[in-house]
Amino acid sequence: MKEFSDVFEQQYSVALFNSVRFEIEGGGGTQSQLLHRKDPLAGRSIFSGSLFQYLEENRKWRSRFVSVPNSYTISLYESKTAHDRGLHPKVTINCAGYKALTSMEEYTELINTSLPGIKAKASSTPFIKCASQFPLILWHPYARHHYFCVMTEKEQNKWHAVLQDCVRHRNNGLPEDCTVQTPAFTDAVRLYRQTKGHYGTWDMMCGAPPQILANLVMETLQPELRSVIGPRLKGKLQQRQRDWMLISDAVYRQVLSQTTGQYDALVEGCEAQRAPLDARLRTDMDQIITSKEHVSSKIRALVLPKAEQLLQTSVQPYISSILEALMEPTSRGFSEVRDIFFKEMVDISKNSLNGAGKDKLGDHMERLSMLAFHPVKMQSCYEKVEQLNLEGLQQRFDVASPSVFISRAQILMREQMDNAVYTFMQLLQQSLETQGEDDMCKTMQRCQDRVLKKYDYDSSTVRKKFFRESLLQIIIPYMLQQLSPSCSPELPRFEELIFEDFSRFLLVENMFEEVVLQSVSKDIMMAVKDAALQRRHNLYRDSMILTNSDPNLHLLGENPQVDWATRFGGDEPEGSVGGGRVEGGGSGSRRRQVVSMIQLDGVPLPFESCLEVPGVELIPEEDAEMLEGNEEDRGPPGEPKSPDSVIRHVFKGFIQSVLSLIMQTPKPTLPSAPRLFFFGDRFLSIQLSDSQCKMYSYFVYDTALNTSAPLCYVNRLMVHHKDRGF
């Protein structure tokens, strides 16, 4: 951390100089055609539901209620009642750096490589036995692993999409609006790793800065720990793997607490110096720029001949193949985004033509507003880009895996979907105010056509920028690694050309990298431009649409978001209170949900713990898919399928037993002792009620609970459960 702090302080001054220079000189990229909303998830929770969790303390599986707020942090509660009462969760999981797995084989392969010098058999079993055939595992190279399972394949697919969305969101932890702190941090991490000989992309650049720093420390610390502690672990292979993971998690948590405190202090110290540095920059900006250009020209004379030779022999022949490998899956993913948006618009238009009321239109618009954040609906888009494969190029250019580029492309796809949805809603609102609501279908069609044209242009712009940045991320580290041995020893002599007053803002290492970047940028720009000229993958030329083709549109972005359910008099979603727009949002707060996994009373119950419920889930699945899923997932009549269905199964059998008893003996006599019934893993005690409570015939007690409070009351007509009501 001491070494990193020195690098960060240097890069902070450089990043401040670049930020102030950009502010003074202006410039920037092409203006977006679509509108962008700043906080699309305000007042929303993402999803909630029940699944089974493996508890390492007692090595048992237990049902847990899962809640995910708009921060995408997973919270596990004992029950839904505990969540509704605002109690603290049993476990809170920050998914940054995790991988969501769906097979024990894949997990076993990962943990078998965790300890050195141990060659596990391919058929070796892990140290946990899954309670079903459909596991869900969150794996982390340093932190504790989390094990879940569900009872059907359809549930597994949905929960896997949900967990992947949590990982995707939490991995994207560096705020792009911090124009000084974020560039300083990313450059400091990159330069620090280069001093250790790591030039390529890094998979663990995940989460907030303290988490990234903890990963940076563990990258060096974990191999040392394994070599010291690994040989001393005793027992069978599974036990040693378990012990090692507990040790690694304990060390990681301790490292994370240290990096959090030290990074906060580091940033606070740099921010305290920002005001005087900013004032000096604005005063001497012209002289600093002149000095930088002079020194850069000297470095360019040294570096450029070597860089051009390296380009011709080892880089240029591969640019087109790298670009094609990036373009195909990414463009298919963005095309899938367009198709899903179009399909949702067609469904809304059909409902409007079929005479659906305005209240239904309001509900459809509310569902559409959260389309980009529905993990199941967006899963097909994400899967397209997951096919990105750089095999054959990874070893040459030291690319650890394509996951860095896949994650970035998926975040951009989600942003473009939300921009398209938000733009459509604002255009529709404007059209309804000026033209009225008489011909709603035609109005929506016109707005849809405008949005799709703008999406096509913005999609092209975003993808071209993504391709350029990805090519630079692949090529620049390779060139620096090849050029540094011959160029780095010559760089210190250029420091003499920099005035001492400007030395904080002008570093020769940064100028060296800028020269290397400039040497390859022209080839990368030409490759992407040629692809656009040939209209490959629906890329547009930069001059095809004027940057201000719809200048009045961006004025709509200043208008507040429309509450469509209120506007059209639609029913408030049953999972929300007061319109779902709440301030704060503790664990007990009721928020409108993007995807609901909670089953309501009175709704038919297929055997799925993560069933989307009409009226709660804002974007329901296809009806045909639901029908197929219900037929496939029901299974044998007596087989419980999920945490909720287990409870339903137990009480269904219990009610039938009690009703049978009552029907057979119209005038029951007081039993000499409480009757015990065994359901699942619990004994339930049934006693005749006392004479003071004539309403109920029997009291039911859970013998596992040391309490005198009944679990539920039973009479001839109904059951009253203490938490679930009648």
**Nearest alpha carbon to residue 467 among 337, 332, 316, 324:** 324
Looking at the DSSP bridge assignments, the partners of residue 91 are: 76
Largest pairwise CA distance in the chain: 105
pLDDT of res. 552: 61
- Which pTM value belongs to this model? 0.78
Residue 725's SS3 state is strand
In sign, the C-alpha dihedral spanning 244, 245, 251, 252 is: positive
Which DSSP state fits 230? G
Instruction: Compute the distance between CA of residue 63 and CA of residue 644 in angstroms, rounded to an integer.
Output: 9
CA 53 to chain CA mean position, Å: 21
pLDDT in tens, 221-238: 999 998 898 888 888 888
Looking at the DSSP bridge assignments, the partners of residue 682 are: 679
pLDDT of res. 350: 81
pLDDT in tens, 6-24: 999 999 999 999 999 999 8
How many Cβ atoms are within 10 Å of 555's Cβ, its own excluded?
11
Instruction: Give the DSSP H/E element, type plus range, for residue 348.
Output: helix 316-353
Instruction: Compute the distance between CA of residue 376 and CA of residue 102 in angstroms, rounded to an integer.
Output: 16
pLDDT in tens, 687-712: 555 444 444 456 676 655 555 666 66
CA 199 to chain CA mean position, Å: 26
How large is the angle between the packed helices 403-435 and 316-353, nearest 10 degrees?
40
* Local confidence band at 577 (pLDDT 50, 70, 90 cut-offs): very low
Q: Which tokens go with 23?
A: 């502010």
Burial 116-148 (b: 16+ CB within 10 A, else e): eeeebeeeeebbbebbeebbbbbbbbbbbbbbb
Instruction: Please state which of the ranges 323-337, 399-413, 615-629 shows the lowest mean pLDDT.
Output: 615-629
CA 457 to chain CA mean position, Å: 26
pLDDT in tens, 532-543: 887 777 787 765
Q: Provide the CB-side half-sphere exposure for 276 (13 A, CA).
A: 6
- In what side-by-side order are the strands of the sheet with 712-714? 675-679, 682-688, 698-702, 712-714, 719-721
Instruction: Please state which of the ranges 44-53, 249-258, 632-641 shows the lowest mean pLDDT.
Output: 632-641
Amino acid identity at 332: R
CA angle 191, 195, 201 (to 5 degrees): 55
Instruction: Give the DSSP H/E element, type plus range, for residue 49.
Output: strand 44-55
Residue 61's SS3 state is strand
How large is the angle between the packed helices 2-25 and 237-272, nearest 10 degrees?
50
Instruction: Compute the distance between CA of residue 695 and CA of residue 720 in angstroms, rounded to an integer.
Output: 11
Looking at the DSSP bridge assignments, the partners of residue 212 are: none
* pLDDT for residue 661 is more than 60: no
User: Which residues lie below 8 Å from residue 176, measured CB to CB, with a gap of 6+?
Assistant: 182
pLDDT of res. 565: 57
* pLDDT for residue 170 is more than 70: yes
Do the beta carbons of residue 688 and residue 706 sit within 8 Å? Answer: no
Residue 469's SS3 state is helix
Provide the H-helix boundaries in 100-152: 104-111
How many Cβ atoms are within 10 Å of 651's Cβ, its own excluded?
18
* pLDDT for residue 614 is more than 90: no
pLDDT of res. 56: 84
Q: β-pairing, 91-93 with 99-101?
A: unpaired
pLDDT in tens, 263-300: 999 999 999 999 999 999 999 999 999 999 999 999 99
Secondary structure of 472-509 in the HEC alphabet?
Answer: HHHHHHHHHHHHHHHHHHHHHHHHHHCCHHHCCCCCHH
Instruction: Compute the distance between CA of residue 126 and CA of residue 104 in angstroms, rounded to an integer.
Output: 8
Do the beta carbons of residue 167 and residue 99 sit within 8 Å? Answer: yes
User: Which residues lie below 8 Å from residue 512, measured CB to CB, with a gap of 6+?
Assistant: 299, 303, 487, 488, 491
* Local confidence band at 355 (pLDDT 50, 70, 90 cut-offs): low
pLDDT of res. 25: 86
* pLDDT for residue 662 is more than 80: no
Do the beta carbons of residue 657 and residue 167 sit within 8 Å? Answer: no
Provide the H-helix boundaries in 508-665: 508-533, 553-556, 564-567, 623-633, 643-664
Q: β-pairing, 74-77 with 91-93?
A: antiparallel
Burial 177-204 (b: 16+ CB within 10 A, else e): eebbbebbbbbbbbbbbbeeebbbbbbb
* Local confidence band at 683 (pLDDT 50, 70, 90 cut-offs): low
Q: Which tokens go with 344?
A: 């949702």
